[in-house]
């Protein structure tokens, strides 16, 4: 392909030929046209930041507005309870709204919002500033005070950003729950955080269907003594009961509130939000992030990693606000930097499988950030969907949420990016708050499947089981120096915070929980969770590595592998495989895949069993629920599957798994 913005891959034959050629490229250099306009091109940025990380982060923090400037950068007197900029005061809402409006940018679009049924709204910074102040005053009128936790259970509508910023404005930590979770999960998170108020919605839309939300919330919230107020957004026109003295319509609250609500000057260490992990196998962990350090980290990484030009870029992070990716790169990072973003209510295949590409064309998206799972789904649907739309506005692509296999990386690069857009493969966690390992697009050459280097000011390393550093090879990923955006504790559970992240190698080494490999160039390759391994005849095999090998087969769209007990080898590999398009699985294709894996990894990695799957069990955000697949393979009860995107997928796979065991 050429380097023009009009180069397209028009059919599967051309795609396979292109991918075959790209597979031979070990390293993708920064495109010259991109380097010429990039914000960061000086390689000394790493050495300078790492020589004096406190000075580096102090400089980045001063890019924000401080009501009271800080004089202390890092207090590490009580590790691992680190504090950043603790004698300074600022307000996140002020930094995301007021300073842009005061600078004359109130008319700039903050969000191009597109509803599932095609509704469009352009929400400016002035619009957000107005509504945030009204809601903040409304919450105060309902008795919410500084330090009170406010729950937020909303779909992808503009009110979710308003709610988060209103809480930040008055110093009420918010506890956002992903809209795809069950009401019981919401109640659990409200109970353990002792939420004073909850902001929710009458009903939510998903792929043409409407589900009542407020009625389900009422069903599970009645016993919560701390919950005094429920604010309800009228979004889907669903009838719902309103309890007098407790419930209030969002629209009524805004219309009755005073218009001016000055942003409170808050200590840098004041809690900004709590975000609970899914807790699939244990009690949910309440990740607690603070005000000054977190905003410093997300603003800096959003600007640097995505080579942001606030005046001209249109940024789209396709995640849900209910996850940390949405907190950091839909709300706080983009708004702190004063840029224009896209927010889409719907799924990537509704109302049609080309909706993402239509949105990119419609709004002129320049930076697109999505998950490998979504990319693989788009691969399965075919090149005809992106080919219908003009994607020439794109300048940079990003991935987040899990390691991306090389085949998906190359498809993204060729089909979506037209071979002209750098890809930033980002590694980070809910706990880290912001991106930690990623290329700087104007500076770092990329390798498909590698997140490359730790960002300036971040110290990452690999260690062995005894904590000894590994400069090249495979080991346990750790962070060896505190960073501003790090979690400060687990809400209400300091002991669990220490034992989960700092107990193994001491209070100055954060244990990530991921295994990784480091190559001769110092690039990190995230393998997967340290417990996501299959032990075949004493050989530990990464599930991510095996999955990547399977997906690299030309007929495969998606795969998930799990262990099952085996009398001979201890554990055997079971692979759930989705093929491209209308291809049907049979013994011939199964043997092709086994041979392919054997060639790429070794015979020990060959799946013992392959189960053909039309789809895999996923959360509504697209994350594959491997726990359910493990339970199927090992014959355990599956439990509640109602929070999945399509619960019927589980029953289909369960029957196939049982049939395999009987055969």
Instruction: Give the separation between CA 500 and CA 279, rounded to whole angstroms.
Output: 14
Percent of the chain whose pLDDT exceeds 90: 76
In the chain, DSSP finds a helix count (H) and a strand count (E) of 23, 31
Please indicate, yes or no, if residue 428 is contained in any of the structural domains. no
> Going along 613-661, which residue ranges are E strands?
none
Q: Quickly count: other Cβ atoms within 10 Å of residue 623's Cβ.
A: 16
Residue with tokens 């104007």: 442
DSSP class per residue in 268-303? TTSEEEEEE---SSSSPPEEEEESHHHHHHHHHHHH
How many CB atoms within 10 Å of residue 521? 12
pTM above 0.75, yes or no: yes
pLDDT digits 0-9 by tens, 456-498 = 999 999 999 999 999 999 999 999 999 999 999 999 999 999 9
Q: What is the pLDDT of residue 648?
A: 80
631 found inside a domain: yes
pLDDT value at 659 more than 90 = no
**HSE of 303 in the Cβ direction (CA atoms, 13 Å)?**
19
Per-residue pLDDT tens over the stretch 619-655: 766 778 887 888 888 888 776 666 677 778 888 898 8
pLDDT at 14 over 90: no
Residue 344 has pLDDT above 60, yes or no: yes
CB atoms within 10 A of CB 291: 26
140 lies in some domain: yes
Res. 282: pLDDT tops 60: no
Please state which of the ranges 105-119, 430-444, 554-568, 574-588 shows the lowest mean pLDDT: 554-568
- Domain termination residue (choose one: 234, 254, 283): 283
Confidence of residue 281 (pLDDT cuts 50, 70, 90): very low
Q: Is the per-residue pLDDT at 1 higher than 50? A: no
Asked if 47 and 585 touch (Cβ cutoff 8 Å), the reply is no
Residue 207 counted as domain residue: yes
And the tokens for 472? Answer: 């090249």
Q: Which residues contact 154 (CB under 8 A, 6 or more apart)?
A: 160, 163, 179, 199, 200, 201, 233, 321
Residue 417 has a pLDDT of: 96
pLDDT, averaged across the chain = 92
Domain of 551 in residue numbering reads as: 532-662
Q: Who has greater pLDDT, 120 or 372?
A: 120
**pLDDT above 70: percentage of residues in the chain:** 96
Banded pLDDT at 5 (limits 50, 70, 90): very low
Phi then psi for residue 311, to 5 deg, are: -75, -25
Decide: 644 and 619 in contact? Cβ < 8 Å. Answer: yes
Coil, helix or strand for 525?
strand
In a domain, 448, yes or no: no
Region of 318 (left: φ > 0; alpha: ψ -120 to 50; beta: rest) is alpha
In 115-237, DSSP assigns E strands to 120-124, 150-152, 174-176, 197-201, 203-206, 209-212, 229-233
- Cα–Cα dist 443/455, whole Å: 12
- Can you tell me whether residue 372 is helix, strand or coil? helix
Question: What is the number of domains present in the chain?
Answer: 2
Within a domain: residue 445?
no
Q: What is the DSSP string of 14-76?
A: HHHHHHHHHTT-S-BPPPHHHHTT-S---THHHHHHHHSHHHHHHHHHTTS--SB--S--EE-
Q: Tell me how far apart the terminal alpha carbons of the chain are, to the nearest angstrom.
A: 48
Beta strands, E only, 107-257:
109-114, 120-124, 150-152, 174-176, 197-201, 203-206, 209-212, 229-233, 247-249
Question: Is pLDDT at 279 greater than 70 in this prediction?
Answer: no
The DSSP H or E segment spanning 190 is helix 183-193
φ/ψ of 367, rounded to 5, equals: -130, 125
Q: Is residue 296 part of a domain?
A: no
Query: What's the pLDDT at 32?
Result: 85
Mean pLDDT of the 202-231 span: 94
Query: Would you say residue 86 lies in a domain?
Result: no
Determine the Cα angle at 448 with ends 443 and 449, to 5°: 110
Q: Kindly indicate the confidence band of residue 280, based on its pLDDT and cuts at 50, 70 and 90.
A: very low
Mean pLDDT on 55-84: 98
Q: Which of 261, 283, 305 is the last residue of a domain?
A: 283
> Does residue 108 come out as left (phi exceeding 0), alpha (psi in the -120 to 50 range) or beta?
beta
Query: Cβ of 76: how many Cβ atoms within 10 Å?
Result: 15
Question: From CA 169, how far away is CA 272, in angstroms rounded?
Answer: 10
Residue 562 belongs to domain with CATH number: 3.30.300.30
Length of the chain: 663
* pLDDT on residue 638: 76
Looking at residue 283, its pLDDT comes to 66
CA dist 525 and 143 (Å) reads 49
pLDDT tens by residue, 83-119: 999 999 999 999 999 999 999 999 999 999 999 999 9
Query: What pLDDT digit, counting tens, does each position of 590-605 carry?
Result: 999 999 998 878 788 8
3-state secondary structure of 142: coil
Torsion, CA 78, CA 80, CA 85, CA 86, rounded to 10: -50
For 381-391, the pLDDT digits (tens) are 999 999 999 99
Q: How many CB atoms lie within 10 A of CB 517?
A: 19
> How confident is the model over 245-274, as pLDDT tens digits?
999 999 999 999 999 999 999 999 999 999
Count Cβ atoms below 10 Å from residue 651 Cβ, excluding itself.
12
pLDDT for residue 6 is more than 60:
no
**Of 585, 641, 580, 630, whose CA–CA distance to 611 is shortest?**
585
Q: What CATH number does the domain containing 265 carry?
A: 3.40.50.980
pLDDT of residue 389: 97
Mean pLDDT calculated for residue range 337-356: 96
How is residue 100 written in tokens? 């842009």
Domain boundary among 234, 250, 283: 283
What's the confidence (pLDDT) of residue 538?
61
């Amino acid at each position: 392909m050429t380097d023009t913005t009009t180069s397209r891959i028009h059919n599967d034959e051309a795609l396979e030929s292109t991918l075959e050629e790209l597979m031979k490229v070990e390293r993708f250099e920064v495109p010259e046209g991109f380097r010429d306009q990039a914000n960061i091109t000086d390689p000394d940025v790493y050495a300078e930041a790492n020589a004096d990380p406190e000075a580096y982060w102090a400089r980045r923090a001063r890019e924000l507005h401080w009501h009271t400037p800080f004089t202390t950068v890092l207090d590490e007197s009580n590790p691992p309870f680190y504090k950043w900029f603790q004698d300074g005061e600022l307000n996140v809402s002020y930094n995301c709204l007021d300073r842009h409006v005061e600078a004359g940018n109130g008319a700039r679009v903050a969000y191009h919002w597109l509803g599932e049924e095609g509704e469009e709204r352009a929400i400016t910074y002035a619009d957000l500033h107005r509504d945030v102040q009204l809601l903040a005053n409304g919450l105060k009128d309902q008795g919410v005070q500084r330090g009170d936790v406010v729950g937020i259970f909303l779909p992808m509508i503009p009110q979710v950003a308003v709610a988060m910023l209103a809480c930040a404005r008055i110093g009420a930590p918010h506890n956002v729950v992903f809209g795809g979770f069950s009401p019981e999960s919401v109640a659990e998170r409200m109970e353990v955080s002792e939420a004073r108020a909850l902001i929710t919605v009458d009903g939510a839309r998903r792929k043409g269907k409407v589900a009542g939300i407020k009625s389900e919330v009422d069903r599970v919230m009645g016993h919560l003594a701390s919950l005094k107020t429920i604010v309800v957004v009228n979004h889907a026109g669903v009838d719902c009961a309103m309890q007098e003295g407790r419930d209030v319509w969002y629209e009524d609250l805004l219309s009755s509130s005073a218009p001016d609500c000055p942003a409170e000057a808050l200590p840098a260490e004041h809690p900004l939000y709590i975000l609970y992990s899914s807790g699939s196998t244990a009690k949910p962990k309440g990740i607690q992030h603070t005000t000054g350090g977190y905003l410093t980290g997300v603003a800096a990484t959003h600007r640097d990693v995505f080579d942001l030009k606030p005046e001209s870029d249109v940024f789209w992070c396709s995640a849900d606000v209910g996850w940390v990716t949405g907190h950091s790169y839909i709300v706080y990072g983009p708004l702190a930097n004063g840029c224009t973003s896209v927010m889409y209510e719907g799924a990537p295949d509704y109302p049609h499988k080309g909706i993402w590409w239509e949105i990119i064309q419609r709004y002129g998206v320049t930076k697109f950030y999505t998950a490998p799972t979504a990319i693989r789904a788009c691969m399965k649907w075919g090149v005809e969907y992106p080919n219908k739309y003009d994607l020439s506005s794109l300048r940079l692509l990003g991935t987040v949420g899990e390691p991306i296999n090389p085949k998906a990386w190359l498809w993204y690069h060729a089909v979506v990016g037209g071979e002209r857009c750098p890809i930033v493969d980002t590694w980070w966690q809910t706990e880290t708050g912001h991106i930690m390992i990623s290329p700087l697009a104007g500076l770092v050459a990329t390798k498909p499947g590698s997140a490359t280097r730790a960002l300036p000011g971040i110290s990452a390393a690999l260690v062995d089981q005894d904590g000894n550093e590994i400069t090249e090879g495979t080991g346990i990923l750790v962070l060896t120096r505190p960073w501003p955006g790090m979690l400060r504790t687990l809400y209400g559970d300091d002991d669990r915070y220490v034992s989960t992240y700092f107990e193994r190698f001491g209070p100055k080494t954060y244990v990530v929980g991921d295994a990784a490999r480091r190559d001769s160039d110092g690039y990190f390759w995230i393998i997967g969770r340290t417990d996501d391994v299959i032990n075949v005849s004493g050989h530990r095999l990464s599930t991510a590595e095996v999955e990547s090998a399977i997906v690299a087969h030309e007929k495969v769209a998606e795969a998930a592998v799990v262990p099952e007990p085996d009398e001979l080898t201890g554990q055997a590999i079971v692979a759930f495989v989705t093929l491209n398009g209308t291809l049907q699985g049979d013994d011939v294709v199964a043997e092709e895949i086994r041979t392919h894996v054997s060639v790429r990894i070794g015979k020990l990695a060959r799946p013992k069993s392959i189960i053909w799957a039309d789809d895999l069990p996923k959360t509504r955000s697209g994350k594959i629920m491997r726990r359910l697949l493990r339970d199927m393979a090992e014959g355990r009860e599956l439990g509640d599957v109602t929070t999945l995107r399509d619960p019927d997928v589980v029953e289909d796979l369960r029957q196939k798994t049982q049939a395999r065991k009987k055969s």
